[in-house]
């Protein structure tokens, strides 16, 4: 089973990388962009076949290592 984790900074947390991308887009003539939030996507190949167990396992991985839950939120998608 595959899992995809989408990780983004929580609302209200400053995103300097997103701001740099927004500024660069403006410099390239894309003036209609008012804000950019940058995140990351992690894909996992799991041996678990039970969807509920797989989601619980990936959630534990996120809480322990993959996401900084103080400043980031995440969503788990099973594929």
Spatial contact of 18 and 76, defined as CB atoms under 8 Å apart: no
Give me the residue spans of the domains in the chain: 2-78
Q: How confident is the model at residue 36 (pLDDT cuts 50, 70, 90)?
A: very high
Topology annotation, domain 2-78: Mth169; Chain: A , (3.30.1280)
- Please say whether the dihedral angle defined by the alpha carbons of residues 11, 22, 17 and 19, taken in this order, is positive or negative: negative
Model confidence, pTM: 0.87
Q: Tell me, what's the pLDDT at 17?
A: 96
Q: Span 12-36, mean pLDDT? A: 95
**pLDDT tens, residue by residue, 49-74:** 999 999 999 999 999 999 999 999 99
Spatial contact of 54 and 46, defined as CB atoms under 8 Å apart: yes
Q: How confident is the model at residue 75 (pLDDT cuts 50, 70, 90)?
A: very high
């Amino acid at each position: 089973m595959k899992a995809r984790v989408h990780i983004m900074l929580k609302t209200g947390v400053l995103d300097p990388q997103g701001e740099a991308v927004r500024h660069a887009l403006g410099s390239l003539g894309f003036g209609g962009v008012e804000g950019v939030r940058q995140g990351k996507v992690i894909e996992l190949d799991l041996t678990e076949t039970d969807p509920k167990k797989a989601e619980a396992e990936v959630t534990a991985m996120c809480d322990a290592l993959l996401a900084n839950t103080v400043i980031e939120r995440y969503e788990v998608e099973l594929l």
